[in-house]
Amino acid sequence: MSMPTHLSFLILAACLASMSATADLNESLKAAMASDIRTDAERARDANRKPLETLAFLGLKEDMRVLELLPGGGWYTKLLAPALADKGELHVAIGTQGVEKMIEAGTLTGVEVVAIEGEGYTRAEGSRRGDLPGLKIPVKNIDLALTFRNMHNFTDSGRRAVNESVFKALKKGGHYGVVDHTKRHMQADNAENWRRMDPVQVIKELEAVGFEFVDYSSLHYRFDDELRYEVGRRSVSGNTDRFTLLFRKP
C-alpha cells in the first residue's frame, strides 16, 4: 500500500469511527429523551430547546468529563447523565438542590455533585441578580462545561466568578457552552428584561478571563421575539430568542 493510499485509509477509518461515535451518542440521547424519569412538561420543551442539535453544536462526546452549572430542575441533566454513563462523567455544581433530591430518591444516577467553596449565592443590594463571593469549583480536567439560561442570574462580579472558576476547571483545549435569553445590545436593565443577557457583553466578559470565542449558533434565534418583554410572560415564554455560544480555553 502506497503512502498516499495508506494515509487516505487512516483518514477514512477515523471519519467512520467518529460518525459511529456520534450515532451512538445520538441514540443514547434519544433514549434518555424517552426515559420515564422525564415529565410530560419536560418532553413538551424538546421541540423548542432542540437538545440533540444544541449538544452537537457544543461538541458533546460520550467519553467526555462534563461539568453542568446551575442544573436547576435537571432538564439537561436527565439527558446528559445517561448519555455519559458508560464512557464519560457528569459533574454538576451551583444550585444543585433539585438534582440532589433526584439522586437521593434514586430517580437519577451517574451524576457527581461538586460541593462548591465560598459564601454561596448572595443577592446584591438593590438588584435581582446575585454574587458568588469566593467561589471555587474543586474539579479539574473538564472537557466541556455547560450552562443553560443562567448567566442572567448574576451580577457582573458573579458572572466573573463563575467564568474564572470554569476556566480553572477546564483542561487546556476544553470548551465552554453558554446559552441564555437575548437582551438588546447595550440596553440597561429594567423590570422586563433583567432575565436576559447581551450576548456581546457575555463574549467580552469571557474573553476577559482568558477564553477564546469559537462560534455561535442560530438554533434558538426567534425573529418574533422583540427582546422587550419578561421571558416568563405568556406571550413570550417558550419562544424567547436565545444566544448559543461556544468558547475554548487556549
The helix/strand/coil state of 156 is helix
Handedness of CA 32, 34, 35, 40 (dihedral sign): positive
Please compute Rg for the chain using Cα positions.
19
User: Which residues are within 8 A (CB) of 190 and not within 5 positions of it... i.e. 6 or more apart?
Assistant: none
The helix/strand/coil state of 172 is strand
- 205-209, long-range: CB < 8 A, 24+ apart: 205/156, 205/159, 205/160, 205/163, 206/163, 206/176, 206/178, 206/245, 206/247, 208/160, 209/160, 209/163, 209/164, 209/167
Per-residue tens of pLDDT for the chain, all 250 residues: 565 666 555 454 444 344 556 788 999 999 999 999 999 999 999 999 999 999 999 999 999 999 999 999 999 999 999 999 999 999 999 999 999 999 999 999 999 999 999 988 888 777 889 999 999 999 999 999 999 999 999 999 999 999 999 999 999 999 999 999 999 999 999 999 999 999 999 999 999 999 999 999 999 999 999 999 999 998 899 899 999 999 999 9
The set of cell numbers assigned to 214 is 469559537
Quickly name the fold that domain 3-248 has. Rossmann fold (3.40.50)
CB 187 within 8 A of CB 198: yes
